[in-house]
């Protein structure tokens, strides 16, 4: 299953699976490099050293992380 993810320390080191959530039929805990569910949970909880964050095709264009309000304000400046 191809995907685009931001380069994080996690992707560079691949954590060992400690719990299987059985979320993907094709995943086999014996040969998977990491548990994607746990990596996503870690990212949601702010632990990017142990998490994975996906991006769309324009992810490479990201220059900064801003709040949604700031982003919407910046977008609205361009159309008002």
| pLDDT (tens digit per residue) in 49-79 | 888 888 888 878 778 878 899 989 988 997 8
Any domain includes 60: yes
In a domain, 21, yes or no: yes
- Domain assignment of residue 20, given as a range: 9-77
CB of 42 closer than 8 Å to CB of 50: yes
CA distance 49 to 7: 10
Three-state DSSP class for residue 56:
coil
CA 51 remoteness from chain centre? 6
Q: Is residue 20 part of a domain?
A: yes
Task: Tell me how far apart the alpha carbons of residues 13 and 40 are, in angstroms, rounded to a whole number.
Answer: 15
Instruction: Assess if residue 54 is contained within a domain.
Output: yes
2 in a structural domain: no
Domains in the chain, number: 1
pTM (predicted TM-score): 0.60
């Amino acid at each position: 299953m191809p995907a685009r993810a931001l380069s994080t320390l996690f992707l560079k080191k691949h954590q060992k699976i400690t719990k299987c959530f059985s979320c993907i039929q094709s995943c086999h805990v014996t040969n998977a490099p990491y548990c994607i569910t746990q990596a996503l949970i870690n990212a949601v909880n702010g632990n990017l050293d142990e998490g994975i964050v996906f991006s769309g095709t324009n992810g490479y264009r990201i220059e900064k992380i801003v709040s949604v309000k700031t982003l919407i304000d910046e977008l609205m400046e361009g159309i008002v």
